[in-house]
Amino acid sequence: MTDRAFAVIRAGALTTVQDLGRAGQAHLGVPRSGALDLPAHRLANRLVGNDPAAATLETTLTGCAVRPRRAATVAVTGAPCHVAVDGRPVAWGAAVRVPAGAVLDVGPARRGVRGYLAFGGGVAVEPVLGSRATDLLSGLGPAPLTDGAVLPLGDPVAPPAPADAVPQPAPPEELVLRVRLGPRDDWFDRTAPRTLARATYRVATASNRIGLRTEGPPLERVRQGELPSEGLVLGAVQVPPDGRPLVFLADHPTTGGYPVIGVVPEPDLAAAAQARPGTPVRFVPVRAAR
């Protein structure tokens, strides 16, 4: 393998390769996947001079450590954390030069959940269906990182962005999600939108890249049973038999039979990517203009 690569020293709890995902493949049963916090992914790429579509590493809670075989420009965004090169602290949220053979350590998230590590030139694993993203539901793309793995890097195409640091939103203390009601809100008691809007929900520990699960009062249904399996979109709020809303994220299934009471607009989902278990969730139902 070329020396345009990096070795994984510490893989962390869950570190995956992510880009903008596989849009337009739902008819094949393939979700979009891609970075859960797209603004943080785009910012990391911009700081090192990459195209937004370049692949980054998405870390989960515990960070990761890597050793580039050749000097590389990197940037870490998303969940705030300690970043060090061979034990010396370096800037988070800014472009940093890492010498060949040095260990870049992305520490545990101080707040939030997911961090994004961009390399100048991007992570150059082989694309699958037009994307380098790891899809945990379908198994497409590269496997999650493991200690000792070696991944290739692309050639840098542009100088880093001329900025020492760029502000980015802090992880939410309260997750506020707008919900456009429908298409199956008629399966629920007429009090369900009020319950959704006024009840206290929290992020459940079972949340993952597939969906953000919640704990809180169940939404009462007026129709029982299941629908014939129908298409699901990013941000769909499905209500399984326990009645607790489930917000589908990037690795969501493309079809399902439980009713969808509404859909969270995509701009709200970046904050969902950074909401830790126990974070209060407030749903704000809105009706689409007719």
Does residue 148 share a domain with residue 27? yes
**Most distant CA pair in the chain, distance:** 63
165 inside domain: no
The verdict on 12 and 145 lying in the same domain is yes
Looking at the fold, whether 134 and 180 belong to one and the same domain comes out as no
Residues 124 and 213 placed together within one structural domain of the fold: no
Place of tokens 């707008």: 178
Reference 44, options 123, 108, 103; nearest CA is 123
Q: Do residue 188 and residue 93 come from a single domain?
A: no
Cα 205-206-212 angle, rounded to 5 deg: 95
Q: Assign 265 to helix, strand or coil.
A: coil
If asked whether residues 23 and 119 sit together in one domain, one would say yes
Looking at the domain assignment, is residue 164 inside a domain?
Answer: no
Question: What is the domain-level CATH number for residue 212?
Answer: 2.40.100.10
Contact 234, 264 (CB under 8 A): no
- pLDDT(80) > 90: yes
Contact 200, 216 (CB under 8 A): yes
Q: Which domain holds residue 45?
A: 5-152
Q: What is the pLDDT of residue 224?
A: 84
Residue 99 CA, chain-centre distance (Å), reads 29
In a domain, residue 168? The reply is no
Specify if 275 maps to a domain: yes
Coil, helix or strand at residue 78: strand
CA–CA distance, 164 with 111 (Å, rounded to integer): 22
68-96: average pLDDT: 96
Rounded Cα–Cα distance for residues 154 and 157 (Å): 9
pLDDT band at 170 (very low <50, low <70, confident <90, very high): confident
Neighbour count for residue 215 (Cβ, 10 Å): 16
pLDDT tens figures, 132-142: 999 999 999 99
The verdict on 9 and 112 lying in the same domain is: yes
48 and 123 in one domain? yes
Same domain, 89 and 139: yes
Question: pLDDT band at residue 165, thresholds of 50, 70 and 90?
Answer: low
Domain finish residue from 121, 152, 183: 152
Q: Is 169 among the domain residues? A: no
Domain membership of residue 12 (yes or no) is yes
CA distances from residue 121 to 74, 92, 124 in whole angstroms, order as listed:
10, 19, 8
Q: Is residue 20 part of a domain?
A: yes
Tell me how many domains the chain contains: 2
